[in-house]
Amino acid sequence: MKVAFYAYPSSFQNPGGGEVQLIKTKEALEKQGVSVKLFDQWNDKLQDFDILHVFGSVKDCVGLMETARNLNVKVVLSPIFWSNFDRAFFESENVSRKAELTLRHLLKLLIPVFPSGRRRTMVLSNVLLPNSIMEKNQIKRLFAVPESKMSVVPNGVDDSFAYAEPSEFVKKFGIKNFILYTGRIEPRKNQLNFIRAMKGFDAPIVFIGKAVSDYQTYYDACRKEAGKNVHFLGYIDHGSSLLRSAYSAASVFALTTWFETPGLSALEAALAGGKIVITPSGSTREYFLEMVRYARPHKLDEIRQKVEEAYSAPPEPKLKEHIIKNYTWEKIAFLTKSAYKNIL
């Protein structure tokens, strides 16, 4: 079985959870005997592969997907999708952007078959692999994709996070007993509201993540609002032992974004033994059940309350076991490989 992996052209310019999902799925599939190659449009030929697996339901991928179908190459799509009204109303302060997001969501609700680049990627696929039942149900409702065309494959986590030690991070930065928040610094990740919610809190707050060039104004606003206890450490490579150490050293891991499906970094923090405060929007409840605390991204008092509760509480003993049992990359690769076999 030969599989080509593909993502939209700019995907690895600001890598996040979706890019990690792609690379880790590739590595895990290869361990199970599947030949996987990152598709090189300049040199590779689609007809040399059995399957084209696309990550992200983005219109930029449509052309290659159409070519694959014309060549009778099977197409698999990991849609990495979520849509909601909260995002439209609260994420952006720009009125025209609010209107655009609201209109898009309404169109999908009222006319699921309304033509769009995203829906086209779904129509072209032989099978979709949503990360959760909730994502599957959204796609079914908003894009009129039949349930029979979808197979849920959760996001995964590297088991190395279970063995992380705090000493490396503490030695390098001299920060202890801190709250950790990871992700690209951009409006969807909601760092600004988190900073506002936690003003005056005694413990250090650590942000790990790259400032996205398109959102320099947002990053500047975050820096302006931040107190002396807030540390912006920039990007730390996902494969780095320093990142694993940061998760282990943190007293609380927070990810109160506008939505997560379910937040790869939250899975990693949970496996490292962290106490989690996360958004309820997206598929987070499906993954973490009632073993974490939930705080809505636009409710600053709620964010503050849940972080304070987590900071003084003991870790949830069953969370780490739950993640290991259900969300290792080995299991995700097995489910992905099974989906491949079903369409060949």
Q: What is the pLDDT of residues 54-107, one digit of tens each?
A: 999 999 999 999 999 999 999 999 999 988 666 665 556 677 777 777 777 777
In the three-class reduction of DSSP (H, G, I as helix; E, B as strand; rest coil), residue 32 is classed as coil
Buried b (16+ CB within 10 A) or exposed e, 96-123: eebeebeebbeebeeeeeeeeebbbbbb
Angle at 319 between CA 85 and CA 339, to 5 degrees: 65
What confidence score (pLDDT) does residue 107 get? 75
Residue 231 has pLDDT above 90, yes or no: yes
Domains of the chain, start order: 2-156+328-343 (3.40.50.2000), 159-326 (3.40.50.2000)
Cβ–Cβ < 8 Å for 297, 90: yes
The pLDDT tens digits of the residues spanning 7-48 come to: 998 888 877 788 999 999 999 999 999 999 999 999 999 999
* Nearest CA-CA partner of 169 in 251, 226, 254, 278: 251
Per-residue pLDDT of 163-215, as tens digits, reads 999 999 999 999 999 999 999 999 999 999 999 999 999 999 999 999 988 89
pLDDT in tens, 282-312: 999 999 999 999 999 999 999 999 999 999 9
Where do we find the tokens 């025209």?
A: 96
Residues 6 or more apart whose Cβ sits within 8 Å of residue 239: none
Q: What are phi and psi of 51, to 5 degrees?
A: -140, 140
Q: Which two tokens stand for residue 134?
A: 């909730």
d(CA 236, CA 173): 13
Pairing of strands 293-294, 276-278: parallel
